[in-house]
Chains A and B, each alone.
Chain A
Amino acid sequence: MGWETDHAPRQDELDGCVTCGLCLPHCPTFRLTGSESASPRGRLAAMAAVAAGTAEVDERFEEVMGLCLQCRACEPVCPSVVPFGRAMEGARAEIAVQLPTRRRKLRAWLLGRVLPSRTAVRVASMLAAFAQRLRLHKLPIRLLSRIGGLRRLPLGGPSRAGESRTAAGERVGTAALLIGCVQDAWFGSVNEAAMELLTAAGYDVSAPSGQSCCGALAAHDGAAAATERLAATNVAAFANYDVVVATAAGCSAHLAGYGEWASGGEELADRARDITVVVAEAIADGRLPRLPPRAISVAMQDPCHLRHAQNVVGETREIVSAAGYEPVEIDDKGLCCGAAGAYVLSQPKTSDELGLHKANQVRASEATIVASANPGCEMQLRFHLGDRYDVRHPIELYAEACRGFS
Chain B
Amino acid sequence: MTLAADLRLVLGADRVLDHPLDLQIYAKDAGVTPGTVAAVVFPETTQEVAAVVRIAVVHEVPIVARGAGTGLSGGAVPTRPGLVVALTRLNQIWEVDEAAHTAWVGPGVINLELSQHTTPLGLHYAPDPSSQSACTIGGNVGTNAGGPHCLAEGSTVSHILAVELVTAGGDVLLLGGAAPDPIGLDLVGVVVGSEGTMGLVTKVLVKLTENAPEVRTLLLAFPTIEAAAETVSSVVAGGIVPAALELMDRPMIEAVENFKSCGFPLDAAAVLIAEVAGHPAAVEAEAQLVADAGAAAGATEIRIAATAAERDLIWLGRKSAFGAVAYAAPDYYLHDTVVPRTRLVEAMSGIYEIGERYGISMLNVFHAGDGNLHPLVAFDAKEPGMLEKVRAAADEMVKLSIEVGGALSGEHGIGLEKRDLMGEMFSAVDLDAQARLRDAFDPIGILNPDKVLPEGSRCFDFGLVANLDPESAA
Binding site for B on A (CB under 8 A): 15-25, 33-37, 41-42, 45-46, 49, 54-55, 58, 60-61, 64, 77-82
Counting CB contacts under 8 A, is B426 at the interface?
no
Q: How far is the CA of A35 from the CA of B29 in the complex (A)?
A: 13
Whether A35 contacts B330 by the Cβ 8 Å rule is no
Whether A15 contacts B326 by the Cβ 8 Å rule is yes
| 26 A-B pairs whose Cβ atoms sit less than 8 Å apart in the complex | A16-B326, A19-B30, A20-B30, A20-B134, A21-B69, A34-B86, A34-B89, A35-B86, A36-B26, A36-B69, A37-B17, A37-B21, A37-B25, A41-B69, A45-B24, A46-B21, A49-B24, A58-B21, A61-B21, A64-B21, A77-B133, A78-B323, A79-B321, A79-B323, A80-B259, A80-B326
Shortest distance in angstroms between B385's beta carbon and chain A's nearest beta carbon?
18
Which 4 pairs from chain A and chain B are nearest by CB?
A: A79-B323, A34-B88, A80-B326, A15-B330
Shortest distance in angstroms between B255's beta carbon and chain A's nearest beta carbon?
8
Shortest distance in angstroms between B417's beta carbon and chain A's nearest beta carbon?
14
Whether A55 contacts B20 by the Cβ 8 Å rule is yes
Would A21 and B88 be within 8 Å (CB), given that A46-B24, A55-B20, A80-B323 are in contact? no
Question: In the assembled complex, which residues on chain A have CB atoms less than 8 Å from the CB atom of B320?
Answer: 22, 79
Shortest distance in angstroms between A305's beta carbon and chain B's nearest beta carbon?
20
Question: In the assembled complex, which residues on chain B have CB atoms less than 8 Å from the CB atom of A81?
Answer: 258-259, 326-327
Residue from the set B108, B330, B332 with the largest chain A CB neighbour count within 10 Å: B330
Question: In the assembled complex, which residues on chain B have CB atoms less than 8 Å from the CB atom of A45?
Answer: 24-25, 28
Question: In the assembled complex, which residues on chain A have CB atoms less than 8 Å from the CB atom of B20?
Answer: 55
Whether B325 contacts A80 by the Cβ 8 Å rule is yes
Whether A37 contacts B22 by the Cβ 8 Å rule is yes
Whether B19 contacts A25 by the Cβ 8 Å rule is no
Q: How far is the CA of A221 from the CA of B29 in the complex (A)?
A: 30
- Which of the residues A21, A58, A80, A82 comes within 8 Å of B68, measured between beta carbons? A21
Would A18 and B134 be within 8 Å (CB), given that A34-B91, A45-B24, A81-B259 are in contact? no
- The interface size of chain B toward A, counting residues with CB under 8 Å, comes to 43
Whether B70 contacts A55 by the Cβ 8 Å rule is no
Would A35 and B17 be within 8 Å (CB), given that A17-B326, A18-B330, A80-B323 are in contact? yes
Q: How far is the CA of A176 from the CA of B3 in the complex (A)?
A: 61
Shortest distance in angstroms between A98's beta carbon and chain B's nearest beta carbon?
14
Whether A18 contacts B323 by the Cβ 8 Å rule is yes
Question: In the assembled complex, which residues on chain A have CB atoms less than 8 Å from the CB atom of B42?
Answer: 33-35
Closest B residue to A34 by beta carbon equals B88
Residue from the set A16, A35, A46 with the largest chain B CB neighbour count within 10 Å: A35
Q: Scoring B residues 239 to 275 as 1 if CB is less than 8 Å from chain A, else 0, what string do you get?
A: 0000000000000000010111000000000000000
Counting CB contacts under 8 A, is B324 at the interface?
yes
- Which of the residues B19, B131, B327 comes within 8 Å of A21, measured between beta carbons? B131
Whether B21 contacts A18 by the Cβ 8 Å rule is no
Task: Identify 20 new A-B residue pairs, CB closer than 8 A, beyond the known A15-B380, A16-B326.
Answer: A16-B330, A17-B326, A20-B30, A21-B68, A21-B69, A21-B134, A22-B70, A25-B110, A34-B88, A35-B86, A36-B25, A36-B69, A37-B17, A37-B22, A46-B21, A49-B21, A55-B24, A79-B256, A80-B324, A80-B326
Whether B133 contacts A22 by the Cβ 8 Å rule is yes
Q: How far is the CA of A35 from the CA of B19 in the complex (A)?
A: 14
Q: Scoring B residues 361 to 404 as 1 if CB is less than 8 Å from chain A, else 0, what string do you get?
A: 00000000000000000001000000000000000000000000
Considering the complex, which residues of chain B in the window 315-371 have a beta carbon less than 8 Å from any beta carbon of chain A?
320-327, 330-332
Considering the complex, which residues of chain B in the window 299-322 have a beta carbon less than 8 Å from any beta carbon of chain A?
320-322
Question: In the assembled complex, which residues on chain A have CB atoms less than 8 Å from the CB atom of B134?
Answer: 20-25
Q: How far is the CA of A49 from the CA of B256 in the complex (A)?
A: 28
Shortest distance in angstroms between A343's beta carbon and chain B's nearest beta carbon?
19
Whether B133 contacts A25 by the Cβ 8 Å rule is yes
Q: How far is the CA of A125 from the CA of B27 in the complex (A)?
A: 49
